Amino acid sequence: MHGQGEAHAAQVIFGWDPLWFAGILFVITYALIMSEKINRAIVATSAAAIMVLAGVITEQKAVHGVDFNTIGLLTGMMIIVAITRRSGVFQYLAVWAAKKVDARPWGILVMLVVVTALLSALLDNVTTVLLIAPVTLLITEALGVKAYPYLFAEILASNIGGSATLIGDPPNIMIGSAVGLSFNDFIVHLAPAAVIVMLATMVPIYLIWGRHLKASDESRQRVMNYKERDAISDPVLLVKSLSVLALVILGFALAHFIGKQPSTIALSGAALLLLLDNLGRKSSKQTEQVHATFCEVEWVTIFFFIGLFVVVHGLESTGLLTMLAEEILNLTGGDMSVTAMAILWGSAIASAVVDNIPFVATTIPLIKSMAPTFGGAEALMPLWWSLALGACLGGNGSLVGASANLIVAGFAERARQPIGFMAFTLAAFPLMLFSILISSVYIYLRYL
């Protein structure tokens, strides 16, 4: 996000007060996104168009409000994953992990959780669960056990793993980009918390489901018979895509030293992989292949972000968010500990019930405007980590808390193993609160 909450003399149509106009438009936008009656990309881009057409912000400011670092990073990683997945490496990884524990049901659950958490830390959560859920269904069917505990644990693992890195979850990408935090900053500050939360979460999962998971020797043998090497459908592509992925991760780690933004690294990696994937093909085939790859990019998400950035920037330019920040500081008494806990718990609860992307997009400028109270931008770090943990882990609170949750639920329903909204919430919400309790202790001991 760019710019601070400087109010400017906007000329809004019919002479309406820009602050009220933007505020009401924002509330309507939020309500429509929550209602899911209209596609969220349509809502966000329409609201952005109204912001500009009504005169709340100029076209130049609207473009300035779009965080192209976030957009580039998301798009670049989506392209890299779209190409890499064709190699079959993710199925290989899941089957390999299942066989490593001799196809024991609880062992497989743990391994799939580890794979999901690790992949979610390096790729986006939705992609990760789209890759892991089908293999999970295959393995659990072969074992003769219900897929539910596995899918449930994977949902939690995807959100917890995603909280560990800059690129793991959209809220982190947005926070990292807005504040200028590096890949390494997230690893150093959030990965330890994610590991602790993941380990702690496995205990209740074991007590509720894990200890009851049983499979016959015959069923386990069916899984052991899987030939994971055969999952690699294109060994050459595997080498190319894993090499590029490794270079991109290395680039993220060194981004601070080489002075490049994560989006530059992700898009450079995507361009390189597109080149390697198409070298030697006829030009007509290249067009077909590149088109197929670009179709894999989640353009709904990308345009949702673009629209949202404009809407939030419009709101920010009216000074409304600065006023809201002042109100929050009045409530917390300007105390860093109280403010950090309020942001952590508030963002967790909010993210459990509403989309965390618009929530984080709005909260970022709000936190930025607290800098003078706490003695500058550097002093705000505990608040950024609180927001990241709250927004990412809060997604575990209900099925609608994160896109990955809904993807798994939809998949489970189609596979005739439905994950009920209430059943999920009853188990997941307390576990989410448990994870936020752990995060509170972590934030308090480390930063406050």
Partner 1 sequence: MTARLVMDPNPSVMHAGETVGKAVKIIMEHRYRNLPVVDENGHYLGVFGINTLLRLVLPPAVVVEKGLTTAPFVTDTLADLRHRLASVEEVSILDFINDDATVVYPDTPLVETLLVLYRTRTSVPVVEGEARRLVGMISYWDVGAHILEQEV
**CA–CA separation, 420 and 408 (whole Å):** 11
- By C-beta, is 175 or 404 nearer to partner 1? 404
In the complex, the smallest distance separating the C-beta of residue 74 from partner 1, rounded to whole angstroms, is 20
In the complex, the smallest distance separating the C-beta of residue 79 from partner 1, rounded to whole angstroms, is 18
The one-letter amino acid code at 402 reads A
- By C-beta, is 359 or 411 nearer to partner 1? 411
* 322 token code pair: 């600065």
- By C-beta, is 227 or 282 nearer to partner 1? 227
In the complex, the smallest distance separating the C-beta of residue 296 from partner 1, rounded to whole angstroms, is 12
> What residues line the site for partner 1 (CB under 8 A)?
88, 91-92, 95, 130, 134-135, 137-138, 141-142, 222, 225-231, 233, 411, 414-416
DSSP state string for 356-374: HHHHHHHHHHHHHTTHHHH
- The torsion region of residue 67 among left (phi > 0), alpha (psi -120 to 50) and beta comes to beta
Phi/psi for 70 (5° steps) reads -65, -45
In the complex, the smallest distance separating the C-beta of residue 148 from partner 1, rounded to whole angstroms, is 14
- By C-beta, is 92 or 442 nearer to partner 1? 92
CA 173 to chain CA centroid, Å, is 8
In the complex, the smallest distance separating the C-beta of residue 98 from partner 1, rounded to whole angstroms, is 11
- Contact predicate 62/313, CB 8 Å: yes
In the complex, the smallest distance separating the C-beta of residue 144 from partner 1, rounded to whole angstroms, is 10
* 59 token code pair: 């076209």
3-state helix, strand, coil in the chain (%, to 5): 80, 0, 20
Count Cβ neighbours within 10 Å for each residue of 20-47 and write b for 16 or more, e otherwise: ebbbebbeebbebbeeeeeebbebbbeb
Instruction: Identify which of 289, 363, 297 has the alpha carbon closest to the alpha carbon of residue 324.
Output: 363
- Contact predicate 101/87, CB 8 Å: no
DSSP state string for 384-417: HHHHHHHHHHHGGGSGGGSHHHHHHHHHHHHTT-
In the complex, the smallest distance separating the C-beta of residue 412 from partner 1, rounded to whole angstroms, is 9
| Residue 277 half-sphere exposure toward CB, CA atoms < 13 A | 29
- By C-beta, is 173 or 412 nearer to partner 1? 412
In the complex, the smallest distance separating the C-beta of residue 237 from partner 1, rounded to whole angstroms, is 13
- By C-beta, is 11 or 225 nearer to partner 1? 225
- By C-beta, is 130 or 353 nearer to partner 1? 130
Any idea what DSSP says for residue 2? -
* 388 token code pair: 């990241």
Instruction: Identify which of 370, 316, 323, 320 has the alpha carbon closest to the alpha carbon of residue 343.
Output: 370
